[in-house]
Amino acid sequence: MKLLTGLVFCSLVLGVSGGFFSFIKEAAQGSWDMWRAYSDMKEANYIGADKYFHAKGNYEAAQRGPGGAWAAEVIR
């Protein structure tokens, strides 16, 4: 429910026609970036490297746009 409320709120803040769907797309892509970074961390299996992979996932997700930045904030 929080996810849906956050998406609706962010779409209202964007206030652009068609912005809601691009926000959803960016959020999905940002979530995928975070998942890929997590998978890379598990595959590396190296103690102490978690901060690097978390930062990498957050950076890549935030580069997607407002939706990706929102996804990185929620997932972190």
8: part of which helix (H) or strand (E)? helix 2-14
Res 42: pLDDT? 93
CA-closest candidate to residue 55, choices 29, 76, 25: 76
Domain contains 3: no
Domain contains 24: yes
Residue 70: which CATH number? 1.10.132.110
Domain count, the chain: 1
For 49, the domain range is: 20-75
Res 12: pLDDT? 60
Highest mean pLDDT among 1-5, 14-18, 69-73: 69-73
pTM value surpassing 0.85: no
Domain contains 14: no
Domain contains 66: yes
